[in-house]
Homo-oligomer: A and B are copies of this chain.
Amino acid sequence: MPESTKTIHWVGDLDGCCRLIDQTLLPGECKEIDCTDSACMWDAIKRLAVRGAPAIGVAAAFGVILGIRGSKAGDRDAFLADLKQTTDYLASSRPTAVNLFWALDRMNRVAHAATDLDVAALKQRLFEESKAIWDEDREMCRALGRHGQTLLADGETALTHCNAGGLATADYGTALAVFFAAQEHGKTIAVFADETRPLNQGSRLTAWELQNAGIDVTVICDSMAGQVMKEGRIHKIFVGADRIAANGDTANKIGTYSVSVLAKEHGIPFYVVAPTSTFDLKSPDGDAIPIEERDASEINRGFSELNTPEGVAFYNPAFDVTPHEHVAAIVTECGIIERPDTSKILDHFRENGLLAEEGS
């Protein structure tokens, strides 16, 4: 496992601590924080020291452990009250993060379900659950990498957009998992990373992760991707996803759609790498996915002094939707969906037992 993407993990037993990379200091400095109480974790989530949906879920679960392991509750009910106080507190750190609530709910449910355990055993049971959440996230990343790396041959060069990397997960990411796994399989690969304006997740985070792993990485401006493809330098394209509709239309960081059009023009396979949890089967296609519009300050003041005239208008869509016709395959933790459409995606879910509620 690449040491470079130990985004978040637990050190030691129940008396240990949660160690995480302070991502606000990247790429200038890679400093780890040892959180020993829930206030430290609350602060880390709040100020984006830990970010990315899966990583936030893991952070929340570990934050619960930090909050309740010192509970002086004499009985189960008192302990559950302490637990609720901790989860309510952690929930206030980033109220819009879906994975935060998902993880806190899961911890509460486990505690309530374990009616036969005393306080000491409950603490241990929750500790095991937090590590299970971490483990599942790692397993998901590994499975994505395992399947995805079959699509990238020794000696090939890939292009990626934004940061679908280890820094957003407990392990080595989604799209970037493909590169790490290819390297582990002994393949020599190279990666072009779009800088990914306006917030530069490509040049700041993807470049940092790949450089640390010893993978040949070259940063380009987003506007250069077409030229690099035209020069014949790119064999495959791998991106992550924020949300995938039932037909395979994929919402991801703004600019992904343009990359998919350029890939089509140059006949380069364009792959989406994302866990099945990213699919929103209730959205029939990309038109059902709303595009978040964000503040102009990300463009005209991001990482710099004001560099545009005062008062000029901006348009700053945070995401775009890539039509499934542009997608050569979607890689999930269960395998590969070639030339995805609604029928193939449903088959994939069915074959992997992910449509349990079907017919009920």
| In the complex with contacts A211-B312, A218-B314, A262-B261, A255-B303 CB distance below 8 A | no
Which of the segments A53-61, A189-197, A352-360 contacts the partner chain? A189-197
- A221 and B200 form a contact (CB under 8 A): no
> Shortest beta-carbon distance, A237 to chain B, in Å?
14
Instruction: Confirm or deny: A203 has a beta carbon within 8 angstroms of a beta carbon on chain B.
Output: yes
**Which one, B216, B230, B258, B305, contacts A303 given CB within 8 A?**
B305
Q: Using Cβ atoms and an 8 Å threshold, which residues of chain B touch A315?
A: 192, 218-220, 224, 228
A221-264 contact mask (Cβ, 8 Å, vs B): 1 or 0: 11111111010000000000000000000000011011001101
**Which one, B218, B223, B258, contacts A197 given CB within 8 A?**
B223
Give the CA-CA distance A147 to B262 in the complex, in Å: 31
- B309 and A207 form a contact (CB under 8 A): yes
Instruction: Confirm or deny: A108 has a beta carbon within 8 angstroms of a beta carbon on chain B.
Output: no
- A221 and B197 form a contact (CB under 8 A): yes
**Which one, B27, B197, B230, B309, contacts A309 given CB within 8 A?**
B27
Give the CA-CA distance A308 to B194 in the complex, in Å: 12
Give the CA-CA distance A306 to B204 in the complex, in Å: 10
**Which one, B194, B219, B227, B308, contacts A312 given CB within 8 A?**
B219
- A204 and B255 form a contact (CB under 8 A): no
Given contacts A203-B300, A216-B313, A224-B320, 15 further A-B contacts (CB under 8 A): A28-B306, A194-B223, A197-B221, A200-B308, A203-B299, A203-B308, A204-B307, A218-B315, A219-B313, A219-B314, A219-B315, A226-B258, A227-B258, A261-B261, A303-B305
Q: Using Cβ atoms and an 8 Å threshold, which residues of chain B touch A311?
A: 211
Instruction: Confirm or deny: A208 has a beta carbon within 8 angstroms of a beta carbon on chain B.
Output: yes
Q: Using Cβ atoms and an 8 Å threshold, which residues of chain B touch A208?
A: 308-309, 312
Give the CA-CA distance A298 to B193 in the complex, in Å: 16
- Give chain A's interface residues, CB within 8 Å of chain B: 27-28, 192, 194-198, 200, 203-204, 207-208, 211, 216-228, 230, 254-255, 257-258, 261-262, 264-265, 291, 299-300, 303-317, 320
Q: Using Cβ atoms and an 8 Å threshold, which residues of chain B touch A194?
A: 223
Give the CA-CA distance A192 to B317 in the complex, in Å: 14
Give the CA-CA distance A211 to B204 in the complex, in Å: 32
- A204 and B308 form a contact (CB under 8 A): yes
Q: Using Cβ atoms and an 8 Å threshold, which residues of chain B touch A309?
A: 27, 207-208, 211
Give the CA-CA distance A155 to B28 in the complex, in Å: 47
- B197 and A222 form a contact (CB under 8 A): yes
Residue of B whose beta carbon sits closest to that of A194: B223
Q: Using Cβ atoms and an 8 Å threshold, which residues of chain B touch A203?
A: 299-300, 307-308, 312
- A226 and B308 form a contact (CB under 8 A): no
Q: Using Cβ atoms and an 8 Å threshold, which residues of chain B touch A317?
A: 224, 227
Give the CA-CA distance A207 to B311 in the complex, in Å: 10
Give the CA-CA distance A208 to B311 in the complex, in Å: 10
Q: Using Cβ atoms and an 8 Å threshold, which residues of chain B touch A304?
A: 303-304
Which of A211, A225, A230, A308 has the most B CB atoms < 10 Å from its CB? A308
> Shortest beta-carbon distance, A288 to chain B, in Å?
15
> Shortest beta-carbon distance, A119 to chain B, in Å?
46
> Shortest beta-carbon distance, A227 to chain B, in Å?
4
